[in-house]
Amino acid sequence: MNTLTFTTNGTQKTISQERQGLMLNGRYQLQHELGHGGMGTVYLAQDTYLEREVAVKLLDGHSLGTSGRGQLLHEARAAARLSHPNVVMVFDLGEHDEVPFVVMEYVPGQTLAVLRPQRMDEVIRIARQLCAALQHAHDKGLVHRDVKPQNVLITPEGVAKLTDFGLARALDRPLDPEDSFAGTLSYVAPEQAMGEPVTHAADLYAFGILLYELTTGALPFSGSIAQILVAHLQEIPAPPRERNPHVLPALDELIVHLLQKVPGERPSSAAEVGHLLGILSKLNRLSTIFELA
């Protein structure tokens, strides 16, 4: 296959030449790759109807299962109902040569995986925005199921936007045995890893992993796939303050609370977590220690 190499944001990327300039549904013209994940590839594209830039995620059709396309349509429609300043909006859904794609708001900037905050107050500020995004989705009956730094975009103005809601699961849909949108192993909640029905509590667990990583610089569990899976199910991670003494005691307790194995033992809602983070933000302003170790 012919390939084309280009540079974006200082990083070299290679994509298939066949997709360069590809027109989807006679409307969305692919320009270049923005990122790649387990479920597909995201491209910057031009919406030729509305003359605006959009992000298009071309999904791996082989991973959807027999009923996957119907599930994707149902959940993308639900995600399209979301309208929040901290959520990347879903605009459209379609197929090209039997490959499903999701059209989303294009957000210039970097992911949280690249643009890591270096100050504790910045960690808390971003976390509060993500809580607002999650609460909005949960109020609309959606569970994200893949909360992680790679799915958080930070705009040049410092606004955090949670993305990939096009792959979220609607709470009103029965669990399908062929459902393959299982999340990312390092962030997956115990009940999610076991293939059990998930609620908003699964997102709060993943959010706790994200906070753990941002405050300590490391994931709570590491090793082989089997080791990480067992750790999610059975092991209690070291409290964040053991890895970074600059973590505020109250924030340490909140993260430990989020990482409880039993869903009912976690905080009751993202709104509750956001409220606690707001209190921590005020306390943090009184502290002279801001820098992450």
3-state class (DSSP) for residue 229 = helix
The answer for 57, left when phi > 0, alpha when psi is -120 to 50, beta otherwise, is beta
Nearest to 59, CA basis, from 84, 27, 25, 93? 93
Nearest to 185, CA basis, from 148, 142, 234? 148
**Which residue pairs from 177-181 have beta carbons closer than 8 angstroms and sit at least 24 positions apart in sequence?**
178/65, 178/66, 178/67, 178/68, 179/65, 179/71, 180/63, 180/64, 180/65, 180/68, 181/39, 181/145, 181/146
Indicate which residues carry an active-site annotation.
Answer: 146
